[in-house]
């Protein structure tokens, strides 16, 4: 059964480790992540962006697929199904479809509007036993070929949003989605420390987990990060393994064109990436 992310993140924050959110794109992705979490006895969060939601034929299809897998694969570790960077309407759709967690990304609104909308959605999520992630300070990334610089959130605004009763808070600390550019200045630990001091026990979320050096990840966890989002890195390892299979001409030999064979190296590569991250984040063995 899907669970809210609240309890697993409170435990992570108290235990000074982080739970990984791995974004899913299709059946192979979901299966690889769930099997790895079960093997390593790690709690896990499956992230679904609105784009990936559309790609996978809507939120109801995803809920059906994930619930089916939890049962058929006999998954016993805590699993949350979470909307990533949701709009207000997207959040409502996921509540209705049976997700167990939502992120409302109101970071592009003026703070008053972000607060008002976040508040409304907290009430709805709470009535369903779901967790809610809010965001302050937008997280940069590549848009139309231009890599935006990660913004740093205002710690006082973070406190205002945290006090509304969100389950977890994403705050920009110079992190960005996708690959980091050569001239990236690194995470702003000064900002993270200030946010942590003001928000106390609130589990903090680090987006853009791909490509952040290990020592920075560890420091971020020591300063209160309890959830780390990873998307691009699984895509890169899937693509590299698939490329190797095709370039070796394996699809041309025997029944190598069978999707169950052709997609297998990519699916295994995702497992290896997820394992590496769970070990780094410290969530291995924390499922109970």
Report if residue 23 touches ligand 13P, rule: CB under 6 A: yes
Q: 256: Cβ–Cβ under 8 A, 6 or more apart, which residues?
A: 245, 250, 262
Q: Is 253 exposed, middle or buried (0-12, 13-18, 19+ CB in 10 A)?
A: exposed
Are residues 109 and 71 in contact, defined by beta-carbon separation less than 8 angstroms?
Answer: no
Position 25 contacts ligand 13P (CB under 6 A): no
Is 209 a binding residue for ligand 13P by CB under 6 A? The answer is: yes
Of residues 84, 215, 251, 258, which has the active-site annotation?
84
Q: How many residues bind ligand 13P (CB under 6 A)?
A: 15
Sign of the C-alpha dihedral, residues 76, 77, 78, 84?
negative
Q: Quick one: which segment of 86-94, 160-168, 204-212, 246-254 binds ligand 13P (CB under 6 A)? A: 204-212
154 catalytic? Reply is: no
Is residue 233 part of the contact set for ligand 13P (CB under 6 A)? yes
- How far apart are alpha carbons 252 and 240 in whole angstroms? 18
Task: Name the segment binding ligand 13P (CB under 6 A); options: 4-12, 120-128, 201-209, 278-286.
Answer: 201-209
Q: Quick one: which of 230, 241, 270, 278 contacts ligand 13P (CB under 6 A)?
A: 230
| Partners of 170 in beta bridges | 135, 205
Please tell me whether residue 212 adopts helix, strand or coil conformation.
Answer: coil
**Binding piece for ligand 13P, criterion CB under 6 A, among 30-38, 224-232, 248-256, 264-272:** 224-232
133 touches ligand 13P by CB under 6 A: no
Answer yes or no whether residue 150 interacts with ligand 13P by CB under 6 A: no
Residues 167, 4 contacting (CB under 8 angstroms) = yes
User: Residue 51 CB, nearest distance to ligand 13P (Å)?
Assistant: 11
Considering the complex, state which of residue 8 and residue 212 has its C-beta at the smaller distance from ligand 13P.
Answer: 212
> Exactly one of 160, 178, 198, 276 binds ligand 13P (CB under 6 A); which one?
178
Q: Between 38 and 133, whose beta carbon lies closer to ligand 13P?
A: 133
Choice between 62 and 245, CB closer to ligand 13P: 62
User: Would you tell me the crossing angle of helices 155-162 and 111-127 to the nearest 10 degrees?
Assistant: 30
**Interacting residues with ligand 13P between 84 and 103 (CB under 6 A):** 84-85
In our burial notation (b when 16+ CB lie closer than 10 A, e otherwise), range 6-36 reads bebbbbbbeeebbbbbbbbbeebbbbbbbbb
Q: Provide, rounded to whole angstroms, the least separation between the CB of residue 233 and ligand 13P.
A: 6
Q: Is 123 exposed, middle or buried (0-12, 13-18, 19+ CB in 10 A)?
A: exposed
| C-alpha dihedral, 90 to 187 to 201 to 94, nearest 10° | 10
Residues noted as catalytic: 84
Q: What are the residues binding ligand 13P (CB under 6 A)?
A: 23, 47, 84-85, 177-178, 207-210, 229-233
């Amino acid at each position: 059964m899907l669970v809210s992310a609240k309890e697993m993140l409170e435990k992570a924050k108290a235990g000074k480790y982080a739970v990984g959110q791995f974004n899913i794109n299709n059946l192979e992705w979901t299966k690889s992540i769930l099997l790895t979490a079960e093997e390593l006895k790690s709690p896990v969060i499956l992230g679904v962006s609105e784009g990936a939601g559309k790609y996978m034929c809507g939120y109801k299809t995803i809920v059906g697929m994930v619930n089916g897998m939890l049962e058929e694969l006999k998954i016993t570790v805590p699993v949350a199904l979470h909307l990533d960077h949701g709009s207000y309407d997207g959040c409502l759709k996921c509540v209705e479809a049976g997700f167990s967690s939502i992120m409302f990304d109101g970071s592009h609104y003026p703070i008053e509007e972000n607060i008002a909308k976040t508040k409304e959605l907290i009430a709805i999520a709470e009535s369903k036993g779901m967790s809610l992630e809010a965001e302050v300070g937008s997280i940069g990334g590549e848009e139309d070929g231009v890599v935006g610089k990660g913004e740093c959130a205002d710690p006082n605004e973070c406190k205002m949003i945290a006090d509304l009763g969100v389950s977890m808070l994403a705050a920009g600390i110079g992190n960005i989605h996708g690959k980091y550019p050569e001239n990236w200045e690194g995470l702003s630990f000064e900002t993270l420390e200030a946010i942590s001091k003001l928000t106390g026990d609130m589990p903090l979320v680090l987006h853009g987990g791909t490509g952040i050096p290990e020592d920075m990840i560890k420091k971020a966890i020591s300063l209160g990060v309890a959830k780390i989002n990873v998307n691009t890195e699984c895509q890169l390892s899937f693509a590299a393994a698939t490329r190797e299979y095709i370039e070796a001409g394996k699809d041309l030999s025997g029944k190598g064109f069978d999707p169950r064979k052709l997609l297998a190296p990519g699916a295994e590569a995702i497992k290896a990436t997820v394992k590496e991250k769970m070990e780094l984040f410290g969530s291995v063995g924390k499922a109970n």
